[in-house]
């Protein structure tokens, strides 16, 4: 399946929820990415016994707010985006896309929307690795890729991170809440951790959490998975 020949962004309907909770209906060519990012997930999450997916909220240091996730796999992608210096904003379940896909009308809610420091926008769909070859998944991915391109946006299909990368990010995520750290102590800790011989009582202290919090450290292991 594919977009109909001559399809334009004005022919794709988009629904999203504003920060007030109000539902907004528009078209892709008129969609404001900043309003979507500042808004709420387009669909509500429900928790109940026996549910197959684990949903919740993640405190995202990028944007200093809670970001929802519908599964642990979505959480992993959001965490990686939170550690990517090229990402300036993260939104989950950002909008519902409605448009023609061959002879059918497709309705689809992408999993994540990322705003970049370069002004670009990336639409992300997250799926379990075992579904990569599923025909319907392939059809949805290709349709969404083409729809994003109509607006000049990038598209990413994501099937999970390397385990070690995720472990590193999960460890460091706990040290990114500025409200829990006295920033006046950061220079002293960095100095002491950098030369423990001059400060024996700081011997063995790892400066990794402080570097990550202060923004002075860029770790390649925390970049987005490809």
Q: Show pLDDT as tens, one digit a residue, over the chain (226 residues).
A: 566 556 789 999 999 999 999 999 999 999 999 999 999 999 877 666 666 668 889 999 898 899 999 999 999 999 999 989 999 999 999 999 999 998 899 999 999 999 999 999 999 999 999 999 999 999 999 999 999 999 999 999 999 999 999 988 888 877 777 677 777 777 777 777 665 444 444 444 444 555 455 444 444 444 443 3
Do both 97 and 17 map to the same domain? Answer: yes
Do both 138 and 195 map to the same domain? Answer: no
Q: In which domain, by residue range, is 129 found?
A: 9-158
Query: Is the distance from CB of 84 to CB of 224 less than 8 angstroms?
Result: yes
Do both 140 and 200 map to the same domain? Answer: no
Alpha-carbon torsion (225, 138, 16, 75), positive or negative? negative
Q: Per the structure, how many domains does the chain have?
A: 2
Query: Is the distance from CB of 91 to CB of 121 less than 8 angstroms?
Result: no
Q: Name the residue with tokens 């829990």.
A: 180
Would 4 be classed as within a structural domain?
no
Q: What is the pTM of this model?
A: 0.80
């Amino acid at each position: 399946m594919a977009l109909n020949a001559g399809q334009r962004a004005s022919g794709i309907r988009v629904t999203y929820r504003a920060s007030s909770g109000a539902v907004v209906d528009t078209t892709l060519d008129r969609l404001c990415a900043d309003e979507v990012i500042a808004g709420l997930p387009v669909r509500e999450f429900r928790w109940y016994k026996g549910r197959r997916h684990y949903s919740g909220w993640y405190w995202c240091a990028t944007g200093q707010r809670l970001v929802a996730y519908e599964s642990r796999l979505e959480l992993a992608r959001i965490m990686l985006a939170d550690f990517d210096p090229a990402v300036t904003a993260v939104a989950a379940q950002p909008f519902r896309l409605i448009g023609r896909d061959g002879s059918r009308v497709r309705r689809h809610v992408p999993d994540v929307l990322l705003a970049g420091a370069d002004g670009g926008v990336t639409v992300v769909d997250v799926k379990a690795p075992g579904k990569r070859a599923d025909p319907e998944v392939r059809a949805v991915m290709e349709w969404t890729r083409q729809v994003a391109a109509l607006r000049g946006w990038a598209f990413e299909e994501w099937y999970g991170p390397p385990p070690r990368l995720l472990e590193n990010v999960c460890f460091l995520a706990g040290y990114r809440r500025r409200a829990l750290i006295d920033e006046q102590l950061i220079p002293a800790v960095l100095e002491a951790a950098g030369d423990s011989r001059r400060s024996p009582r700081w011997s063995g202290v790892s400066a990794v959490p402080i570097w990550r919090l202060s923004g002075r450290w860029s770790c390649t292991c925390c970049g987005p998975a490809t």
